[in-house]
Amino acid sequence: MSDVKYWNPTLETLPQEKLKSLQLRKFQRILRWAYDKSPFYHRLYSDAGLEPGDIKTFDDIRKVPKTDKAMLREIQATKPFPYGNILAVPINQVTEFRQTSGTTGQPVYHPETWQDWEWSAESWAYALYAQGYRSTDRVFMPFGYSIFIAFWAAHYAAEKIGCEVIPGGVLDTEARILKMQELRATSFMATPTYILGMADTARKRLGIDPAKDLFVKKITSAGEPGALVPATKKRMQEAWGAKVYDQVGATEIGHWGFECEAQSGEHILEAFHLVEIEDIETGSPVTTPGRSGSMIVTTFDRLAHPCIRFDSKDVVRLSTTEQCECGRTFRLLDGGVIGRADDITKVKGVLLAPTAIEEVVRSIPELGNEYQVVVTKKGDIDDIALKVELLPEHKKERKQIEERLINQLRLKTNLRYELEFHEYGDLPRASLKSRRFLDLRGQAH
Ligand SMILES: [Zn+2]
């Protein structure tokens, strides 16, 4: 039997200059497609006095108007039902329906054609291959196959590479762990919240130590930024005795970044996406490594619902590492998505990124994985409370742990918090995405 190639990893070592000219060609093509086929995009560009032929160089790309999630919500309310006038293919070519899993606001519907779907699986295949997935892997998928895109494309990508894929959909957490043990799964994919939650359940309810009693060697983490928050990555890797790799994407954008086996940051999947970074305050382009900015993404070759210069509001930072030791030429981001332009907020006049709090809480081993931050306003004064869980075996050291927590928080975030210690297991747990940062200042008390 010949070795059938279901996917094509040929673009990941192109020199940056060649990659840029490929990106320009792909950008021109999707721009033309959207202008010709999508009434929404045609109007957006006509109103701006722009025609696809105006984009002749890489720098011209900045002339193209941006889009964002609020626009997508508005479009969805227009005719025809249910995607509004952005759809760039006849509706009978749509084969997949998903919707965004955001924790706030009306979900955005997302259509894909069969070709788009193949493309999504291919983009995940680049990531999984870079993380060492091969045809010898038995991959367990502990997620509810649902209306959210989550790990659907990852499932097909693992199949494209030739892995054996076990859909662990309707099982509960304990049954999933036992199945993984029974079948000797070598890898799985989940959100950081669930990766930690599963390890907890294995130890406490089943008496199974995932690092010793299971066969998992690598885990792909997606949906939340934890795998590139050093303290969270360390917790996950230690709990499972496995490498944990980050993977980033969003329903409307696709899978645009991944960590490789070298674990030196997040590679941008530049053969599939154009990532531009803009200064959060001035909007000017950020090209200097080490400086952070808001990410604007264009997704090439996704035809039903084109995504062109989409302002993701994700905050990212280019890495100072120019060449990754894995040999891939795709540029690296330091720390993956380090925050949301929406989430980075001023508390008591200080700029605060919620991931900084996560880093502190998870670097203190006597505390549980869960925490919650609540920001409120009393009169004109902001109040910030942090709820943490103290592990039962460390109850007596509470005073000393509290001091360490206060010091670390002040050092890393320049703020003082009202601390609340809870019993282990008291704070809410979620299996998909957790909402750990609650800003209630706009609400009456
Ligand atoms: Zn690499």
Using CA atoms, how far apart are residues 165 and 187, in angstroms rounded to an integer? 10
State the pLDDT confidence band at 333, using cuts at 50, 70 and 90. very high
Ligand 1 centroid distance, CA of 130 (Å): 7
Predicted confidence (pLDDT) at residue 1 exceeds the cutoff of 50: no
Q: Is 283 left (phi over 0), alpha (psi -120 to 50) or beta?
A: left
Ligand 1 centroid distance, CA of 324 (Å): 5
**pLDDT at position 379, please?**
81
- pLDDT tens-digit readout, 379-419: 888 899 999 999 999 999 999 999 999 999 998 888 899 99
**Number of helices and strands (H, E) in the chain?**
11, 20
**pLDDT at position 2, please?**
45
Using CA atoms, how far apart are residues 109 and 100, in angstroms rounded to an integer? 7
**Half-sphere exposure in the Cβ direction for 158 (13 Å, CA):** 23
**pLDDT at position 31, please?**
98
The side-by-side arrangement of strands in the sheet containing 243-250 is: 164-167, 138-141, 187-190, 218-221, 243-250, 254-259, 266-268, 332-333
Ligand 1 centroid distance, CA of 322 (Å): 10
Ligand 1 centroid distance, CA of 129 (Å): 11
Identify the residue whose tokens are 């200064």.
Answer: 279
Ligand 1 centroid distance, CA of 226 (Å): 19
- pLDDT tens-digit readout, 293-309: 999 999 999 999 999 99
The overall average pLDDT reported for the chain is: 91
Decide: 315 and 293 in contact? Cβ < 8 Å.
Answer: yes
Percent of all residues in the chain with a pLDDT value above 90, rounded to a whole number: 71
φ, ψ of residue 345 to 5 degrees: the values are -135, 160
- pLDDT tens-digit readout, 226-262: 888 899 999 999 999 999 999 999 999 999 999 999 9
SS3 state at 314: strand
**pLDDT at position 441, please?**
85
Ligand 1 centroid distance, CA of 41 (Å): 35
Neighbouring CB atoms inside 10 A of 421's CB total 16
Ligand 1 centroid distance, CA of 150 (Å): 23
Secondary element (H or E) of residue 313: strand 307-317
Predicted confidence (pLDDT) at residue 105 exceeds the cutoff of 70: no
Peptide bond into 39 cis (omega under 30): no
Decide: 341 and 314 in contact? Cβ < 8 Å.
Answer: yes
Predicted confidence (pLDDT) at residue 4 exceeds the cutoff of 90: no
**pLDDT at position 201, please?**
96
Question: If you compute the radius of gyration of the chain from its CA atoms, what whole number of angstroms results?
Answer: 22
Ligand 1 centroid distance, CA of 439 (Å): 36
- 355 exposed, middle or buried (CB, 10 Å; 0-12, 13-18, 19+)? buried
Ligand 1 centroid distance, CA of 330 (Å): 8
Identify the residue whose tokens are 């964002």.
Answer: 68
**pLDDT at position 403, please?**
93
Decide: 142 and 190 in contact? Cβ < 8 Å.
Answer: yes
Ligand 1 centroid distance, CA of 323 (Å): 8
